[in-house]
């Protein structure tokens, strides 16, 4: 799993966290600190780019739920972008489709959330 953190091109107060590969237990243990640090450093919230994620396990879902809970607790938001159909399906099967806001791209997420 590779994680990349950068400021949004259109909204510098928003961090974009790009994930790729398999978001399983091993990846979650490695990537959770970067995700939470990005959330803490971002003034408005984070956009998690799932475009490169091939698979997400229950551990990956829990990581994103924890990040969303932390964000809400500090008045911030989490948006998910570019989820592959197979990854989005896992959110739906787990009943988490309505919990998160999904967008096709970063600009749409920024416009809808901030």
Number of domains in the chain: 1
In this predicted model, what pLDDT tens digit does every residue of 32-59 receive, in sequence order? 999 999 999 988 889 999 999 999 999 9
Decide if 17 contacts 1 (C-beta within 8 A). no
- Over the stretch 92-106, which tens digit does the pLDDT of each residue have? 999 998 999 999 999
Higher-scoring residue by pLDDT: 81, 114:
81
Helical residues (DSSP H) of 15-57, grouped into ranges? 25-41
The boundaries of the domain holding residue 33 are: 2-113
Specify the CATH number for the domain of residue 77.
3.30.750.24
Residues ≥6 apart with Cβ < 8 Å to 66 = 32
Give the model's confidence band at 5: pLDDT under 50 very low, under 70 low, under 90 confident, else very high.
confident
Buried b (16+ CB within 10 A) or exposed e, 30-69: ebbeebbebbeebebbbbbbbeebeebbeebbebbeebbe
């Amino acid at each position: 799993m590779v994680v990349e953190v950068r400021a949004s091109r259109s909204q510098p107060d928003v961090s974009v966290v790009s994930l790729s590969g398999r978001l399983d237990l091993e990846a979650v243990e490695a990537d959770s600190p970067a995700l939470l640090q990005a959330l803490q450093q971002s003034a408005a919230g984070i956009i998690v780019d799932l475009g490169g994620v091939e698979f997400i396990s229950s551990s990956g879902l829990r990581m994103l739920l924890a990040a969303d809970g932390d964000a809400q607790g500090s008045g911030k938001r989490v948006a998910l972008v570019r989820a592959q159909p197979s990854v989005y399906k896992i959110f739906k099967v787990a009943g988490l489709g309505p919990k998160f806001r999904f967008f096709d791209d970063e600009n749409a997420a920024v416009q809808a959330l901030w």
